[in-house]
Structure 1
Amino acid sequence: MVKVATFFAMSVGAFAFWQTMDKIHVWIALHQDEKQERMEKEAEIRRMRAELIRENKKRESLA
């Protein structure tokens, strides 16, 4: 009976461990996606800022 109880407890423990690891993996993946999206937005903002600065300098040199 002890062997059966030990097996059952270890099975439940392993299941809980894998479920927790799965949730942690999903959480990490979501945060990596959010970080990637934020970096892409920041890069787009930098490109637009550089383009606007170039256009402004061009206009000032023509005026």
Structure 2
Amino acid sequence: MVKVTTYFAMSFGAFIFWQSMDKLHVWIALHQDEKQERMEREMEIKRVRQELLQQAKQKDSLA
């Protein structure tokens, strides 16, 4: 009886561990996706800002 109970407890513990690791991996993946999207938005903002500065310089040089 002790062996059966121990086996059940270990199996249940492994299942809980597996589920928590799965949730952790999903959370990490989502966090990395959010970070990547934020970096892409920042790069797009920098690119547009640089283009606007170049256009402003060209207008100043023509005036």
After TM superposition, the score normalised by the length of structure 1 is: 0.99
Q: Map of 1:16-27 to 2, 5 A cutoff?
A: 16-27=16-27
Gaps of 5+ in 1: none
Cα RMSD for the two superposed structures: 0.2
Distance (whole Å) between structure 1 residues aligned to residue 49 and residue 31 of structure 2:
27
Runs of 4+ in 1 over 4 A off after TM superposition: none
Q: Map of 1:1-63 to 2, 5 A cutoff?
A: 1-63=1-63
| Count of paired positions | 63
Q: Deviations over 1:23-63 (max 9, x none)?
A: 00000000000000000000000000000000000000001
- The amino acid across from 2:4 in the alignment is V
What's the % identity of the aligned pairs? 71
Gaps of 5+ in 2: none
